[in-house]
Amino acid sequence: MTLNIHRIDPDNIGDQACSPLRYFRDLRSKVRPVDIQSSIPNADAYLIGGGGMLHGKWMDTLSQVAARGKPCVAWGIGMNTHDTEHFVWPKFLDSFAAVGLRDHGNPWDYVPCPSCLHPAFNVPHSARYPFVIYEHHAAQIPLSVNAPRLQNRQPFSYFENVIRFLSSGRVVVTNTFHGAYWSMLLGRPTVIFRPYSNRFRCFKEVPAFADTDTWRQAVENAEPPSRGYLLECRDLNHIFKELVTPILT
């Protein structure tokens, strides 16, 4: 038995969308998901990810899993330490059978969050608003402006609606990792409001950063990501899938 360890929060759409099992049927039939906040059973192998698994006490859990001596694969996970811009890579990753991190420039393989594989990104949408605001449910963006606004407290079934919402802005202002990532996958200029975690510093495509005093200028000057970003992220996930399938199954 292989377990997929990640954060399973039915009301956090980013947590729900980032597991590779969502996008590969052959893996889904052989790998069982388990919430990192629950007791982790013994297994023959472990698939870690996706999401900000390199965070707080979760790293202690992953270190303990790695110490069991079974094959471990990290897929699309990343750093998520608050109130710092710096990265300290955990040593237990050296014992993994394969490591693919969403943090660009990491010492192992660069593998973006597999949510890029969702077919909703294949549908083009035109921008209707100068900007939209996509905010974390636990950290609302304190801007009193007349702009469409949505929180990330949504089930996975709402994914297409979220993508349509992000697409509706010429620019996206956000303070969530997946809000920024999905916006850039859509080719939208992206402004991260008050980046509070090192997870916002790991994108290959660099968004703009802003606070209460600078956000208007950031929205005006924000540049779109490079063409081909979506395809690149998808290709890297397919390549990594071929690498790790023999380990996981």
For the packed helices 159-167 and 177-185, what is the interaxial angle rounded to 10 degrees?
70
Prediction pTM value: 0.97
The residue among 188, 123, 179 whose CA lies nearest residue 149 is: 179
For residue 86, the model assigns a pLDDT of 87
Given this model, what pLDDT does residue 163 score?
98
Residue segments in the chain with a per-residue pLDDT below the cut of 70: none
Contacts of 218 (CB under 8 A, 6+ apart): 191, 208, 209, 210
Is residue 85 within 8 A of residue 198, CB to CB? The reply is: yes
In a 13 Å sphere around the CA of 223, the CA atoms on its Cβ side amount to: 5
Asked if 233 and 241 touch (Cβ cutoff 8 Å), the reply is: no
Q: Which CATH number fits domain 2-117+232-248: 1.10.10, 1.10.3470, 3.40.50, 3.40.1000?
A: 3.40.50
Q: How far is CA 70 from the centre of its chain?
A: 25
Question: Where are the domain boundaries for CATH 3.40.50 in the chain?
Answer: 2-117+232-248
Phi-psi region of 56 (alpha: psi -120 to 50; beta: other; left: phi over 0): left
What 3-state class would DSSP assign to 210? Answer: strand
Q: What integer pLDDT is reported at residue 249 of this predicted model? A: 87
Judged by DSSP in three states, 215 sits in: helix
